[in-house]
Structure 1
Amino acid sequence: MTDGNCHLAEGVKHLDAAMTGPALISCAQALHHLVHAVGYGSLDPSLISDASQRLFAVAPRVAELAAGRITPEEIYVCLGYATAALTTTDAARRPWVLAAVALLEADLRSVYLRDAITAGPQADIAFVIAKSSRVAVFQDSPAIH
């Protein structure tokens, strides 16, 4: 892909797929393309609008499917940051907004891959993955005392 609008259009396609198909990986792929689109700049306002509407629409489905592994707040806020990244003129803030979006992309990929491994035929790998859960991240007390 050679320009931001190509990446943005691809991101919109993945967001559409997230509404009816595998939401976690499709949303992660959409975020990947949105981050790259912003890097190119000069984005088509109608594509920005399409992406923004879809980011808002997909949030409840992604939050439901990632429940217990990624907080709903993180999903909603970071999907909001994805829209903000497409529209912000604050050059100093943009890299940090993109970092938050990229972090959600990584978290969504992680949940998707953990689910795939757990459902797969390799019981030993599934066992190790199940024992190294991200649940500790959501505990109130520190992991190391």
Structure 2
Amino acid sequence: MTHQTDSVDPLRLAFVCVENAGRSQIATAVAETQLRIQDRTDVEIRSGGTDPAGEIYPTVVDVMREKGYDLSTRTPTRISRETLGECDVVALMGCSLLVDDLPAGVVVRDWGFIDPADADVESVWAISTEIEQRVIELLADLPTEAERRTNTHQLQ
């Protein structure tokens, strides 16, 4: 009798915007928290921007702290096309990024969120709440490691 214990590569999920200073940082924090809550170690999160800012928008840091997420030690980073090409799912946060040259099989979600760069606290709260909901829905749609091992669920 053989047991199916073959592990599969982790799913790679990227949250991308231009500056990596607001929307993609919010999405990353939510995803990391949800994955910890769900005890999912089979998903890797990437976050970055095509033209990173010098720091995360202060209003975003403040609002997310109120919601229980600590973004105070995070910094915007650049994400490469190569990194995006290695991902299974790329979630665009509302930026006009060209992803046509990504390899076949990379699932792209274009969410179109409003940029919180110059938004007031109330607006950032609303934007972050919408991002939280979308990230939770996306994670619920991701196949588990067992489903991927048996090919019973496909990414869409």
Task: Give the number of the structure whose residues are more often strand, by fraction.
Answer: 2
TM-score category (smaller protein)? 0.3 to 0.5
Bigger fraction of residues in helix: 1
- State the TM-score, normalized to the length of structure 2: 0.35
Q: Which has the higher contact order (CA 8 A, sep 6+)?
A: 2
Structure-1-length-normalised TM-score: 0.37
